[in-house]
Amino acid sequence: MAKPNSDSEYLAVLTSPASYDAVLDDPDVDAVYVPVPTSFHVRWAVLAAEKKKHVLLEKPVALNVGELDTILAACESSGIQFMDATMWMHLPRTAQMKQVHSTFSYVGEGDFLKNDIRVNPTLDSLGALGDTGWYSI
């Protein structure tokens, strides 16, 4: 694939893959961001690692430490990089944020309790706490 020479040329090289598998099979893809529900993280992170794709995995990265160990072992054995999607925690300015006193709340309104993945234990058994609750820690 040729490298675009201008911003307008970037649009010409963007594609809409037919499936997640198509992304992993694409030789022009070097890394993947995995934002699927936590219950699918092991499957897609391990598949990505096996296809030699670097993995940026949305938090929480796993439902338990055993799943995380599986993901990390797959990444290590494939020689690819793993990173959780909370990189801002590692930035120097994050230390300055600790000086700010704040309160965090999460309100599920409307059809949230029926349709959101955070309240469906088969998709994300850690719920809203796993997704957003740790921000205030």
Q: Which residues are catalytic?
A: 59
Q: Which helix (H) or strand (E) holds 7?
A: helix 7-13
Q: Where are the alpha helices (DSSP H) in 33-135?
A: 41-50, 65-78, 92-97, 112-115, 127-132
Instruction: Identify residue 8 by its one-letter amino acid code.
Output: S
Place of tokens 């965090």: 104
Measured distance CA(71)–CA(111) in Å, rounded: 33
Under 8 Å CB-to-CB from 108, ≥6 apart: which residues? 116, 118, 119, 128
